[in-house]
């Protein structure tokens, strides 16, 4: 059971890094586009995705070929579309993943923890993206993120500092997605959930 729980932790960590890189590609399409940066983010995503493909349980294979072609051809609309498709596939993988093993539910992290962690992580990245493009739904996403983290804290008995997360999100919105604040928000998120995530 412990080995399976460790595997879940590694999968969540790899998936979070892929999602961060894919969301960063979307961020990079706003304003002046640094194509070298986008190509590096793609390479990083592909490398991390290989770790998910190597897992023994619930393998996930993400096909980056369409995104690679879109980046090569510099078609921003297609890059955006294919990046969203990959993010959706990654998200659906966790939402659709389940375990019939009742014993695993008592060990953390388990599949339910993985789903909730990924949901919270996507919400954080949505807020990051929204702070840059001026998304009007950002207030609702903030509330949803904090509620999701509170639920995760209850189900896992983790001590998550909700106020620290709330403060960094407010700063993120105030400073409209400043890079240093984005890094701080992601680091803080990982620190709060360090018992569920293995690097």
Mean pLDDT for 102-111 is 65
Residue 26 falls inside a structural domain: yes
Q: How confident is the model at residue 175 (pLDDT cuts 50, 70, 90)?
A: confident
Residue 15, domain member (yes or no): yes
49 found inside a domain: yes
Q: Does 188 map to a domain?
A: yes
Give the whole-number percent of the chain exceeding pLDDT 90.
56
Residues 67, 145: Cα–Cα separation, whole Å: 28
The pLDDT tens digits of the residues spanning 17-34 come to: 999 999 999 999 988 999
Does some domain include residue 43?
Answer: yes
Q: 133 is in which domain, residue-wise?
A: 2-192
What is the per-residue pLDDT for 83?
A: 98
pLDDT at 182: 93
The pTM of the full predicted model, rounded to 2 decimals, is 0.90
The span from the CA of 21 to the CA of 45, in Å, is: 6
Q: Is residue 198 part of a domain?
A: no
- Mean of per-residue pLDDT scores for the chain: 87
The number of domains in the chain is 1
Query: Helix/strand/coil (H, E, C) string of 52-95?
Result: HHCCCCCCCCCCCHHHHHHHHHCCHHHHHHHHHHHHHHHHHHHH
pLDDT digits (tens, 9 = 90+) for 45-55: 999 998 777 65
Residue 67 has pLDDT above 90, yes or no: yes
Domain-located, residue 160: yes
Query: Which token pair is 88?
Result: 């959706």
4: pLDDT strictly greater than 60: yes
Neighbours of 1 (CB within 10 A): 12
Indicate the Cα dihedral angle 21, 178, 181, 72, nearest 10°.
Answer: 10
Residue 124 CA to chain centroid, in angstroms? 8
Q: 199 lies in a domain?
A: no
pLDDT at 148 over 90: yes
């Amino acid at each position: 059971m412990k080995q399976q729980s460790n595997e879940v932790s590694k999968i969540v960590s790899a998936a979070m890094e892929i999602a961060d890189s894919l969301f960063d590609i979307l961020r990079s399409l706003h304003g002046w586009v640094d194509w070298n940066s986008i190509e590096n983010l793609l390479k990083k995503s592909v490398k991390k995705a290989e770790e998910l493909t190597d897992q023994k349980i619930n393998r996930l294979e993400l096909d980056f070929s369409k995104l690679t072609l879109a980046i090569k051809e510099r078609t921003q609309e297609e890059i955006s579309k294919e990046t969203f498709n990959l993010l959706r596939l990654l998200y659906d993988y966790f939402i659709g993943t389940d375990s019939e093993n009742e014993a695993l539910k008592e060990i953390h992290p388990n599949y339910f923890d993985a789903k909730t962690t990924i949901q919270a992580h996507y919400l954080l990245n949505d807020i990051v993206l929204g702070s840059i493009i001026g998304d009007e739904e950002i207030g609702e996403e903030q509330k949803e993120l904090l509620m999701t983290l509170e639920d995760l804290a209850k189900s896992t008995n983790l001590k998550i500092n909700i106020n620290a997360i709330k403060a960094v999100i407010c700063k993120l919105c105030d400073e409209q997605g400043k890079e240093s604040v984005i890094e701080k928000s992601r680091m803080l998120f990982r620190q709060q959930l360090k018992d569920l995530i293995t690097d």
